[in-house]
Every structure is written in structure tokens, then in C-alpha cells.
Structure 1
Amino acid sequence: MKLKNTLFCLLIALCLLLTGCGGTNTAGGGKDGSFHIVTSFYPMYIATLNITQGIDGVTVTNMTKPQTGCLHDYQLMTEDMKTLEKADAFVINGAGMESFLDKVIKQQKSLKVIDASKG
């Protein structure tokens, strides 16, 4: 329950930031004014979809396939990095679940990472 509340608070804060940025295209957000969120695996995807449902201009994409098993063994692929290059935010479970995260942070220094295990 604590994880769900933390994720909810993080995404609400993110959405509030989006509503305060209307008009001009500054850092973050697509050229068309959209905000693209990528999630690390399916449970984070479903939670993020539920929280952002009905918010105009926000799209959510899951990086891994729904049938992906344990993320501890997941191998980051070139396709994943291309997906993350287009992202404005990356929602992760955290708490050591995404062992590939160090590589992502090194290559995508400006990517906003939302860690659901913190807070």
C-alpha cells in the first residue's frame, strides 16, 4: 500500500508540473506539447496508466513486454534505449529491481527518473 501511495504522489506531482507548463515548449515535453512517460515493467505501466488516465497530452509506454519475468535478469536492448530517448520521464519500481538502471542513467543523463520505492 505504501508503494502505491508513493507512486501516486510522485505521478500527481508530475502531472501538476505538466499543467503549469502550458503554452511554450521548454525542457521536457514533445514538440507537440505532449509528455511521454516510459515505465520499466508491466505493473508500473498499469499503475501509471491508472494515475494519468484522462490527462490530455500524456502518453504512457511500457519498455518491457508484459510477459517479461524477473527484471533482475532483464537485458537492456537497443530498442529500449531508443524508447527511453523519446521519454520525458521514466517510472521505475526502484529498490534494486531494475539492475540495468545504471546503464540508462549514464546514457540518458537528462532523463527524469521517478523511483516509486522512494519517499
Structure 2
Amino acid sequence: MKAVLVGILVGLATASPVSLHRDPWDPTIKLPSPTQQLVWGDVNVLHTTDIHGWISGHSKDVYPEKSWSGNFGDFYSFVTHMRQKAMTKKSDLLLIDTGDRRIGHGLTDHIFDPKKANGQDA
């Protein structure tokens, strides 16, 4: 029993840390290709929620936050691209943002008083 315990302790002491997450900005990591084509219907929906203050992207330069660093310019570009595809396919595209006004929404905090919009006075 002591030999097993000593073996485990020696193994743990000499082991090097292994990263469980690979950096998504590592140029050696290839992005996976979509497994199937996007299916378009007569009505298609793009939905966002909980954007909070991410209008300018995310400032952290550590994994995994930097992989979430899309800003509103990226979002605008994506929506514009999807609208063009919808027009080409003669489909409707509905964009819905259900924002989170209870905690804060980057587009409405300057318009609405967050103390009144979060349910305290409502």
C-alpha cells in the first residue's frame, strides 16, 4: 500500500501541467467546417440577448474570453451578410434582441434609468 501511495505522490510531483483548453487564437488550430448547409425557411430568425456592455468587444486577452471578442461591428457585418442571403433566397429575416434590461443593456442604459428599468420601481 505504501509503495502505491509513494508511486502516486512521485507521479504527481513530477507531472507537468497539461492545458485542458487550447488557445482558439493559436494559428495551428483549424476552425471546424460546418457539417451541413444552413437550412433557410420562409421566415428566419436571428436572436440576441444579454449583450450588456459587449458593444465594443471584450477587453480580456486570456482564454476563453478573447474568443468571444466580437463587437457590434462584427454583429452588424453578420446581420448585413444574412440579410443579403435572405434577399437572394427571397426569404424573410427577422432580427430580435431581447436584451437584459434588468441587469443592464448597453444600448438602453443611456436612455433608461437602470434603477427604474430593473424592476425596483416597476
Shorter-chain TM-score tier: under 0.3
- By percentage of residues, which structure has more helix? 1
Q: TM-score, normalised by structure 1?
A: 0.27
